[in-house]
Structure 1
Amino acid sequence: MDTASQPVQLGPSTPSLVHFSGNSKDFFGIWIVNLLLSIVTLGIYSAWATVRTKQYFFSNTHIDKHRFEYLATPIQIFKGRIIASILLVIYLFFTHYFPLVGAVLAVMITFLAPWLINQSFRFNMRMTRFRNVRFNFKGSYGGACKVFLLMPILCVFTMYLLLPWTLKKMDEYLLTNIKFGDKQFSAKLSTSKYLSALLITLLSSFAVIPLFIAGLFVAGSNVEDSPKVLMTLIPAYIACMYLLKAIYQAIIRNHVFNSAEIKDIAQFHSNLSVTRFAIVEVTNILAIGLTLGLAYPWAKIRKTKVLAEATAVTLMPAAKDIIDTMDSTESSLGDEASNLFDVDVSLT
């Protein structure tokens, strides 16, 4: 049993388990309506769908009977999505008809990526509220440029020897720039932990190679029978990728949560089972594929419950004195642009 399910005394307060009360039946109803209305409206309703989905998951996630709230409005999302879509169309137009201009724009987008990352995190944090206090993100362009542009380049020139340190600095940057009201998050992450997570994932990848060999035998020795081979190997490949990703994410999630705190306000705990999480991730993606996507709500709820059950938070008495310094106005442009331009960076 996860130790997160057995709270122990850690200082002035007892850890409170994160509880998720959502269920597959309710979320399936929301998901299918969102999907159908988004199709009928040619994607216009997708902004409303995004808000409905996030509000459902936030409102069903609570700590010590206090629920999270998602504050963004569909109009905020819709406006940001329109502007980001226009920018994407302009980029694709120049890339197709004027390749030189498109290349220049690609370079510009590369240097715009740190801003997009900051704006995406800032919007999502400001739209999140817990105990009537909003989160915030105070990352700078220079800081984001350093960890998301310069360090990855250094990794390439060092034949990825600096990859564990780079991944640690990325998570550290994102985490330590988050604020809860007027209080800053802090964390002491270990490069050696990232190295061990990568090595375990790498060794696991060697273990799954026989699965592909077995897949070839199952599909038949005649490689000219390509449809049969593809139907066997593609699901196996996808399952293996989710398996490896889950192994790495579970190890790093535990490390990040157990290293993070808001001084004198909260301590975070995670005891996510690597084996359990890997099984959930692999079976979820296979179920989604076999049902042509209809199992997505069940898979989403299932994964969220597993993560919640492995998580606990120790709230200190001073938590009630936090001051909410945020206003409710914020543009979603950075968040939508980062999605459209495939700038996808998240805290593990």
Structure 2
Amino acid sequence: MTPDTATPSLPPTPPSRRAEFRFDGDAREYFRIWIVNLFLSVVTLGIYSAWAKVRKKRYFAGNTWVAGANFDYHGNPVSILKGRAIAVATFIVYSVVDNFFPKVGYALLLALVFAAPWLVVRTLQFNAANTSHRNVRFHFHGRYPEALAAIAPLIVWPLIGIAVGWNMSSLPASGTEFFILSMPFIAFAAVYPRVVGALKLFHVRHAAFGEARFALDLPMGDFYRIYIAAAVGAFGLLIVGMVPIALMASLSPLPGLMVAWQAVYLGVAAVFLAYTRSHVANLVFNQARMQGGVRFVSTLTTSRLAKIYFGNLLAIAVSFGLLVPWAVIRTARYRASCLALESDGEMDGVLAGVSENVGAAGDEMGELFDVDVSL
């Protein structure tokens, strides 16, 4: 009798499970929150802005859903107010010193530059620790040395600016003056894609949902390709849009040509932002992983995001700012609709951890000095 040599059947692979993100915010509902926040922040000379921030974050977190549950934000307004006070005081001190003692101001600016990595870390720690999903808190485990390594190339920008400003009074007026003054901007453009990529890697690699860590591995060249393509495309669109306007202006100057020029500029800016933000978001999310086999799927498109940005700018302009809530809700709804989670198993098995309390000073100073570290 011939032995049975048939390959034993393997257990079926569990199907991939997909959970779509969804944002249920309503423009009219958010307008009421926004207008009250704005009014109370003005009449209290900014004191209420801490409570306004918490109301806004709780609204957006509470209306963002995935896998049958919404997010929640737990920030303490008093902690945020203390952090904001420290941030404002730091800004005032720098402004006064820079105005009356410019060279001392350069030294203070240098100190603030090296404080920036601390601001980045505290911002990410504060936002993570105060955000939860299904009562599981997020964490951020990054530290100052890693943040410093991520933004180190960007430090070249203010250092060149300090050197130029320190010696500008002794430079003779010549054709090279423009080039010298442009050096900080050239340096900024050269290192910005690398810093964006390094911060994304720093953010994702040190983030965790409960005890489940995230992972991401991307070459810096991918970010440079995105920004170079965006810059070349924006320049081409600007030329295509401006040449007809310039020709018409030379033949017959019309008041409406200024409006046309501004429309072209805003349209190019909207395309540039849409291209860089959609491609960077897709790149990062589609390569990010979480322990337990959970992965992200991002499907943002440049065309759709550019239409949203351009429409938002026009709506805000013609409404004198009153349609800001509508624009914000519109953008949030689209971004959420293009994001999903996929997993080969159950996503409910991710272990929860307990968040450590962190201060809000770094978060508020990061906002004041425009430190953008969000995905």
Q: Please tell me the TM-score bracket, short chain as reference.
A: 0.7 to 0.9
Matches within 5 A, 1:108-119: 108-119=111-122
1:230 deviates by 5.1
Q: How many residues align?
A: 335
Q: What is the match of residue 150 of structure 1?
A: 153
Q: CA RMSD in A?
A: 2.8
| Code of the aligned partner of 1:180 | F
Q: What is the match of residue 197 of structure 1?
A: 226
| Code of the aligned partner of 1:284 | N
Alignment CA distance shift 1:19-1:158 (3 Å): closer
The answer to whether structure 1 residue 170 and structure 2 residue 199 are counterparts is yes
Alignment CA distance shift 1:243-1:31 (3 Å): same
Q: What is the match of residue 6 of structure 1?
A: none
The answer to whether structure 1 residue 259 and structure 2 residue 259 are counterparts is no
1:15 is paired with a residue whose SS is strand
1:148 deviates by 0.4
Q: What is the match of residue 4 of structure 1?
A: none
Any idea what the Cα deviations from partners look like across 1:206-256, whole Å, max 9, x if unmatched?
Answer: 123222334446667677x8x866554345323322220111111121111
Matches within 5 A, 1:1-348: 12-150=15-153, 153=156, 165-205=194-234, 206-216=236-246, 231-315=259-343, 316-317=345-346, 319-327=348-356, 329-340=357-368, 342-348=369-375
| Code of the aligned partner of 2:84 | R
| Code of the aligned partner of 2:319 | T
More off after superposition, 203-212 vs 43-52 = 203-212
1:41 deviates by 1.4
Any idea what the Cα deviations from partners look like across 1:281-305, whole Å, max 9, x if unmatched?
Answer: 1211121112111111111111111
Aligned residues of 1:91 and 1:102 also touching (Cα < 8 A): yes
CA distance in 2, matches of 1:117, 1:304: 23
User: What's the TM-score once normalised by structure 2's chain length?
Assistant: 0.81
Q: What is the match of residue 3 of structure 1?
A: none
Q: Among the aligned pairs, what percent are the same residue?
A: 30
Aligned residues of 1:59 and 1:67 also touching (Cα < 8 A): yes
Any idea what the Cα deviations from partners look like across 1:103-123, whole Å, max 9, x if unmatched?
Answer: 111010011111111111111
Any idea what the Cα deviations from partners look like across 1:11-68, whole Å, max 9, x if unmatched?
Answer: 6541110011111110111111111111121211111111111111100001122110
CA distance in 1, matches of 2:347, 2:24: 27
1:330 deviates by 2.3
CA distance in 1, matches of 2:109, 2:155: 17
Aligned residues of 1:115 and 1:144 also touching (Cα < 8 A): yes
Unaligned 5+ segments in structure 1 are 1-9
Aligned residues of 1:38 and 1:49 also touching (Cα < 8 A): yes
Any idea what the Cα deviations from partners look like across 1:233-280, whole Å, max 9, x if unmatched?
Answer: 345323322220111111121111110011215211111122111111
1:194 deviates by 2.4
| Code of the aligned partner of 1:337 | M
Aligned residues of 2:212 and 2:350 also touching (Cα < 8 A): no
Alignment CA distance shift 1:292-1:220 (3 Å): farther
Alignment CA distance shift 1:307-1:11 (3 Å): farther
CA distance in 1, matches of 2:154, 2:250: 45
| Code of the aligned partner of 2:373 | S
| Code of the aligned partner of 1:305 | R
Any idea what the Cα deviations from partners look like across 1:73-97, whole Å, max 9, x if unmatched?
Answer: 2112111111211121111111112
1:125 deviates by 1.0
Alignment CA distance shift 1:50-1:235 (3 Å): farther
